[in-house]
């Protein structure tokens, strides 16, 4: 998987994040089944629980654009620590991605780590669990 285009899209989205409270800006970009790249950035809110993560924004953009499945995703954050998707975003990604879907974690200097969704969310609950 070539993550260069995803990195560029996430890097362009990251400075647009609305993060006046944490000042922690995150960008994300995903490659969808329709071949399009959908970016997202975090959007905070004074009522903290109603903010949105960058991954959630990218997923919403994908659905609005007509995509239905995530083929790869990249998350870009600041600082020295890896900025992996939070637990809620791991589950959001799971709704639209297979366990083997690659997830790249990047900083402003480039990709720092790669995981599969199964590595980040083992023994996950997904759409197949609800089918009889």
Rounded Cα–Cα distance for residues 117 and 90 (Å): 8
Is 95 annotated to bind a ligand? Reply is: no
Do the annotations mark residue 45 as ligand-binding? yes
Classify each residue of 11-21 as buried b or exposed e, where b means 16 or more C-beta atoms within 10 Å of its C-beta: bebbeebeeee
Per-residue H/E/C for 59-117: HHHHHHHCCCCEEEEEEECCCCCCCCCCHHHHHHHHHHCCCCCEEEEEECCEEEEEEEH
Per annotation, catalytic residue among 55, 78, 80, 100: 55
47 marked as part of a ligand binding site: yes
Q: Judge whether 48 is annotated as a binding position.
A: yes
Q: Are 13 and 40 in contact (CB under 8 A)?
A: yes
Q: Is 80 a catalytic residue?
A: no
Q: Is 53 annotated as a binding residue?
A: yes
Residue 83 annotated as binding? no
DSSP classification of residue 79: S
**43 assigned to a ligand binding site:** yes
Find out whether 41 is annotated in a ligand binding site: no
Provide the annotated active-site residues: 55
**Residues at the annotated binding site for Zn(2+)?**
53, 86, 89
């Amino acid at each position: 998987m070539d993550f260069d285009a995803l990195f560029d899209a996430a890097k362009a989205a990251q400075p647009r994040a609305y993060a006046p409270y944490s000042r922690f800006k995150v960008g994300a970009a995903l490659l969808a089944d329709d071949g399009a790249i959908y970016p997202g950035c975090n959007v905070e809110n004074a009522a903290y629980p109603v903010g949105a993560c960058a991954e959630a924004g990218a997923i919403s953009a994908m659905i609005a654009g007509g995509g239905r499945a995530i083929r790869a995703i990249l998350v870009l954050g600041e600082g020295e620590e890896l900025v992996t998707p939070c637990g809620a975003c791991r589950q959001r990604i799971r709704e639209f991605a297979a366990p083997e879907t690659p997830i790249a974690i990047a900083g402003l200097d480039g990709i720092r780590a790669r995981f599969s969704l199964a590595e980040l969310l083992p023994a996950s609950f997904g759409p197949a669990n609800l089918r009889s």
